[in-house]
Structure 1
Amino acid sequence: MIEQTLQMTEYFLFLLALIMSIVMLIMLANKLKVAYPVLLVVAGLLASFIPGMPVLRIDPELIFIIFLPPLLYEAAWAISWKELWRWRRIISSFAFIVVFLTAMSVAFFANKIIPGFSLALGFLLGGIVSPPDAVSASAILKFVSVPKRMSSILEGESLLNDASSLIIFRFALIAVATGQFIWYEAALSFSWMLFGGIAVGLLVGFLFMKAHKYLPTDVNMDIILTIVTPYIMYIAAEEVHSSGVLAVVSGGLLLSNKRHHFLSSSARLRGYNVWESLVFVLNGLVFLLIGLDLPEITEGLKKEAVSFSSAIGYGLLVTLVLIIVRFLSAFGAVVVTLIMRNFINVAERNPGIRGPILMGWTGMRGVVSLAAALSIPVQLSDGTAFPHRNLILFITFIVILTTLLLQGLTLPVLIRKLKLGGNDHYLSEEETDQLIRKEMAAHALQHLTNKYSAQISEHALLQQLVSKWEGKTKDESELKLPVESKKIYKELLNKQRQWLLQKNKEEKHLDEDIIRRHLHILDIEEEKLKHL
């Protein structure tokens, strides 16, 4: 028992050291203006060669449950539903059609060049490496400026392509395990995974929304419920053999879109900080684990009698296939858009070639690919070793490492060279910000003067607000407020919040990130009101 306790203590200290290393490395990445996933993978790779470095082993069946639900849920909360709907055609094309074409290309290619690699194993590998990683792309785009439409498309694609790739992965896993693939059973199973996953996510999301709204929760309880929610969505969907990923995404989108109806301003503000820290740690751990996992993967290659050089070659060739297919798909989407604009109203009538070049080069792989590869069972149901498991893990590692280093390091340079810009259907951020601020103030001022004209002369805060919103003064000195003034001010904040949400809903070309910024400011104002 004492020995076991000491071992647990050592691993706990090791995890603390990993977290501190993640913080230091991301600080360095920000200083160097390099995407932190690149630096974390390289650091993990170098650390794996240190003598005596502990090997972290995670149960393959738990890898999805630990990392995916919170990461997908946070991404669903961060994305704009309006932008997702506006670019739905191109996003769905890349998230479903392109993922399937990529997996199929990898499957046939691997079946031809890798000895003993069946078509089912090829689809398994294709399902693993087909989805580009959202974290890597967003970390890189942080240092460069791209049009809003491009970032929206990339975010939307990365949110949905995880679901489609993991569905392919699951069917391939069944085909490898059973040795057969019955298409009509697969079609029925696919339909249930798709629609069942969405239904479960919406149902669980609805129940949690009502729990937040009607149960006597406080801020801490609300935050804990938001952390539990994605895990419940994922597990519930998996229990009924539907897609846990789609459940988390659909449920997350529902709750994100309704967040101002069931969460208090305090819960939104504090929850944002908690989630930002949680996702920061999870992402950091995953990318560091990618590098640290190399010795175990390499050791497994020896058991399969595959040479190190051959395995690297397979990995590089698969990476090349991924890049080529994505580029062809990006330009194929342009051709389809140019044709379809003659028959339907498309979001971007003149896509040009710069956007497709960027889309073609944003194919970094990461968290989901690693999680899928590690989740492959060590043994089949009959006790035999899973065929080529270690080789698949190694190829996945090479694909992640190569795309992060090659595309991740060159993407900022490419974006600057492309000089992306032009008509983005948006005002500049400064112009939009000033316009929203002015219109929001006018809306609140009108409500105040119409409903509370008699109280204005009685309360100093209300007089100050009138002066502020009329542009007469910028003095925002705090005053000790009577209860009635606080009540009126809170009502005004709610009116402004409702107006912002309505304006965002009505104007499809308005940048939702700016709306959210103003909603965040209103939450802060409401929080300040409690201390005045």
Structure 2
Amino acid sequence: MIQDNLLLILSLLFAISILTMISGKLKIAYPIFLVISGLLISLIPGIPPVSLNPDLVFLIFLPPLLYAAAWNTSWNDFWRLKRPISLLGFGLVIFTSAAVAFACQLMIPGFSLAAGFLLGGIISPPDAIAATSVLQGLKVPKRALTILEGESLVNDAASLIVFRFALAAVMTGQFHMWEATRTFFVVAGMGILIGLVIAHVVYAIHRFFPTTPAIDAAFTLITPYIMYITAEHFHVSGVLAVVSGGLFLTYRSPDLFSYDARIQVLGLWDTLVFLLNGFVFILIGLQLPGIIRGMENYSVGEAISYAIIISVVTILIRIIWVFPGAYVPRMLFKSIRAKEPDPGWRNILLIGWSGMRGVVSLASALAVPLTLANERAFPHRNLILFITFVVILFTLVLQGLSLKPVIRLLKIKGDPTEKETMQALDMRLRLANAVLAHIDERYEKEIGTNETYKRVRDRYARMIEITQQKLDAPSTKDEGTSFLPHYRQMLLELIDVRRRELNHFRHNNTFSEELIKEREWELDLEEARLRR
């Protein structure tokens, strides 16, 4: 069992952390390193096999991964781009699942259509973490990034529903289209309702009860599991419960957390998602030798050929889908042409080529049961796991490593920086005006009698004056902009100076440890603000 190999897994997680640091140095997205690490782990001789109950895979991995994806999604951007996101998140998932199902039935001997839909549901959703980490630092339009992030949230839910129905068809040997359609809407609707009800309860607890940063972080960790387990208890979609509840709480998050709670929660989730990704890839690496030995009716060469063909099918299906999905609605509806600019074929191709598979597909494959209801071995389970791993490896390595050259070849450019600069200046001006109005209203007497209050007011008045000048003449590059990088570097150096002094105080017992930690916390916040 997994607990007997805890030291092994912890050691491998440590190795994954080191490899991820190396990936940062090499500027290669860490999911690519993780999938290669999983392959290398499987090749180590003498690695003990590790097994995990398939029923526990969804319960352990899915709620936090889905909740983190929802937490990082902007509801306003999600709703603004709901049409392309829905076409990719629902339409493309069903289209991909069907294409994979028929390809498997035609190509693989003894592979049923239901098993094909099961495999299609597993490998149909691209991974948000893979896409955003690969595209991080590259100049791509924000619209494309938003669509990819929103798509991954929706397609996880859609693919897991396809997975659920296909699994039921394999387990029972029966599938009724009308009954499945009716059940789908009930399962989806009730899952969303349960997620929103629990989210409102959690919102009320965060909003109206006294909490601490530690309690807030604990609640965010517990919440997705409560949503998922409650929905599954009533035999509805736990996935949609987590997604809908997570989106609601994301939208209301400014009302929930204090500044220190927000910093702690973000750090917690970054760490958790990284560890879960690493753990899943380690798990498949440890199981891969047993999976290969368990493919009794297929040679490794045959399995690899099937997997490569299916990988190519998933890539081609996505590229084929994105162009009609982008242009047909524009051809049919004048309102879309009037409201939205032409996305351009280059940006559409970029979205089509950014379909890297990742951890959700791997977790879904690991969740396939070991046996059927009659205790017979689940048909083609090891082949399904093997194909899933190869598809992830193929798409991450091929598409992930080629994205940068593709962007350069297509001459794709990011959003104009002038627009972002003007928006930042406009926001700064509005914030400064709001502060100045508040000072004049609440502290008029203090401003007239106390020099400190007057200096604060003068600071914001000067900020408004400078910002207004930049908005009136955005093309002029004055000293207000040219010196900023050097000035920011100086402020960071001053933080390092104070840190060194704090360490000196600590070693010499000049001040109490509690006082030193308070100042370190202040410096951490200041550095975070400057670096962001």
Q: Which of the five TM-score ranges fits, normalised by the shorter chain?
A: 0.7 to 0.9
1:337–1:349 Cα contact (<8 Å) kept: no
- After superposition, the Cα gap between the structure-2 partners of 1:147 and 1:267, relative to the gap in structure 1 and judged at 3 Å, is same
In structure 2, what is the equivalent of residue 339 of structure 1?
331
In structure 2, what is the equivalent of residue 201 of structure 1?
195
Deviation digits for residues 145-192 of structure 1, max 9, x if unmatched? 211100000000011100000101110111111111122221121001
Deviation digits for residues 94-137 of structure 1, max 9, x if unmatched? 00011100100111111111111111111111111111111110
The structure 2 residue matched to 1:153, chosen from 147, 154, 158, is 147
2:9–2:282 Cα contact (<8 Å) kept: no
State the AA in 2 paired with 1:128: I
d(CA) in 2 for partners of 1:359 and 1:456?
55
d(CA) in 2 for partners of 1:411 and 1:385?
40
The reply to whether residue 166 of structure 1 matches residue 160 of structure 2 is yes
In structure 1, what is the equivalent of residue 211 of structure 2?
217
1:41–1:290 Cα contact (<8 Å) kept: no
- After superposition, the Cα gap between the structure-2 partners of 1:460 and 1:11, relative to the gap in structure 1 and judged at 3 Å, is farther
In structure 2, what is the equivalent of residue 504 of structure 1?
none
The structure 1 residue matched to 2:97, chosen from 103, 111, 116, is 103
1:128–1:169 Cα contact (<8 Å) kept: yes
d(CA) in 2 for partners of 1:457 and 1:425?
44
In structure 2, what is the equivalent of residue 434 of structure 1?
425
In structure 1, what is the equivalent of residue 261 of structure 2?
267
The reply to whether residue 83 of structure 1 matches residue 74 of structure 2 is no
d(CA) in 2 for partners of 1:287 and 1:469?
51
Per-residue deviation, 1:421: 3.0
d(CA) in 2 for partners of 1:421 and 1:276?
28
Query: Within 5 A, what are the aligned runs for 1:438-477?
Result: 438-457=429-448, 462-471=453-462
The reply to whether residue 117 of structure 1 matches residue 75 of structure 2 is no
Query: Within 5 A, what are the aligned runs for 1:138-149?
Result: 138-149=132-143
Greater share of residues in helix: 2
Deviation digits for residues 256-295 of structure 1, max 9, x if unmatched? 1111223222211221122222222212222343444321
The reply to whether residue 315 of structure 1 matches residue 307 of structure 2 is yes
The structure 1 residue matched to 2:86, chosen from 89, 92, 99, is 92
2:48–2:286 Cα contact (<8 Å) kept: no
The structure 2 residue matched to 1:255, chosen from 249, 254, 258, is 249
- After superposition, the Cα gap between the structure-2 partners of 1:264 and 1:461, relative to the gap in structure 1 and judged at 3 Å, is farther
The structure 1 residue matched to 2:39, chosen from 45, 49, 63, is 45
In structure 1, what is the equivalent of residue 412 of structure 2?
420
State the AA in 2 paired with 1:101: F
- After superposition, the Cα gap between the structure-2 partners of 1:461 and 1:289, relative to the gap in structure 1 and judged at 3 Å, is farther
d(CA) in 1 for partners of 2:55 and 2:240?
18
1:37–1:287 Cα contact (<8 Å) kept: no
d(CA) in 1 for partners of 2:387 and 2:367?
15
Per-residue deviation, 1:460: 5.8
State the AA in 2 paired with 1:433: A
1:297–1:390 Cα contact (<8 Å) kept: yes
2:122–2:163 Cα contact (<8 Å) kept: yes
The structure 2 residue matched to 1:325, chosen from 296, 317, 321, is 317
Deviation digits for residues 366-398 of structure 1, max 9, x if unmatched? 111111111111101111111111111111111
State the AA in 1 paired with 2:364: A
1:107–1:123 Cα contact (<8 Å) kept: yes
State the AA in 2 paired with 1:180: Q
**Number of equivalent positions:** 473
1:87–1:347 Cα contact (<8 Å) kept: no
SS in 2 for 1:470: helix
**For structure 1, which runs of at least 5 residues remain unmatched after alignment?**
476-520
In structure 2, what is the equivalent of residue 511 of structure 1?
none
d(CA) in 1 for partners of 2:387 and 2:194?
34
In structure 2, what is the equivalent of residue 295 of structure 1?
289
In structure 2, what is the equivalent of residue 373 of structure 1?
365
Q: TM-score, normalised by structure 2?
A: 0.84
In structure 1, what is the equivalent of residue 507 of structure 2?
none
State the AA in 2 paired with 1:171: F
d(CA) in 1 for partners of 2:307 and 2:243?
30
Per-residue deviation, 1:48: 2.0
Deviation digits for residues 287-321 of structure 1, max 9, x if unmatched? 343444321221211xx321111111110111111
- After superposition, the Cα gap between the structure-2 partners of 1:459 and 1:174, relative to the gap in structure 1 and judged at 3 Å, is farther
SS in 2 for 1:48: helix
d(CA) in 2 for partners of 1:458 and 1:370?
67
1:143–1:412 Cα contact (<8 Å) kept: no
State the AA in 2 paired with 1:444: V
- After superposition, the Cα gap between the structure-2 partners of 1:151 and 1:461, relative to the gap in structure 1 and judged at 3 Å, is farther
In structure 2, what is the equivalent of residue 515 of structure 1?
none
SS in 1 for 2:43: coil
State the AA in 1 paired with 2:306: Y
Question: What is the Cα-based RMSD across aligned positions, in Å?
Answer: 2.5
Deviation digits for residues 182-207 of structure 1, max 9, x if unmatched? 22221121001211111111111110
State the AA in 1 paired with 2:153: L
1:238–1:244 Cα contact (<8 Å) kept: yes
2:41–2:282 Cα contact (<8 Å) kept: no
In structure 1, what is the equivalent of residue 510 of structure 2?
none
SS in 2 for 1:115: coil
Q: How many percent identity over aligned positions? A: 47
d(CA) in 2 for partners of 1:106 and 1:169?
13
- After superposition, the Cα gap between the structure-2 partners of 1:73 and 1:370, relative to the gap in structure 1 and judged at 3 Å, is same
1:114–1:314 Cα contact (<8 Å) kept: yes
d(CA) in 2 for partners of 1:132 and 1:140?
13
The structure 1 residue matched to 2:235, chosen from 233, 241, 250, is 241
**For structure 2, which runs of at least 5 residues remain unmatched after alignment?**
467-479, 481-486, 488-521
d(CA) in 1 for partners of 2:418 and 2:92?
32
d(CA) in 2 for partners of 1:288 and 1:438?
50
The reply to whether residue 353 of structure 1 matches residue 345 of structure 2 is yes
d(CA) in 2 for partners of 1:194 and 1:345?
32
Moved more, 146-155 or 268-277: 268-277
- After superposition, the Cα gap between the structure-2 partners of 1:466 and 1:115, relative to the gap in structure 1 and judged at 3 Å, is same
2:66–2:153 Cα contact (<8 Å) kept: yes
Deviation digits for residues 456-499 of structure 1, max 9, x if unmatched? 34556533321221227999xxxxxxxxxxxxxxxxxxxxxxxx
SS in 2 for 1:350: coil
- After superposition, the Cα gap between the structure-2 partners of 1:460 and 1:367, relative to the gap in structure 1 and judged at 3 Å, is farther
2:203–2:256 Cα contact (<8 Å) kept: yes
d(CA) in 1 for partners of 2:451 and 2:16?
49
Q: TM-score, normalised by structure 1?
A: 0.84
In structure 2, what is the equivalent of residue 487 of structure 1?
none
d(CA) in 1 for partners of 2:312 and 2:281?
22
In structure 2, what is the equivalent of residue 59 of structure 1?
53
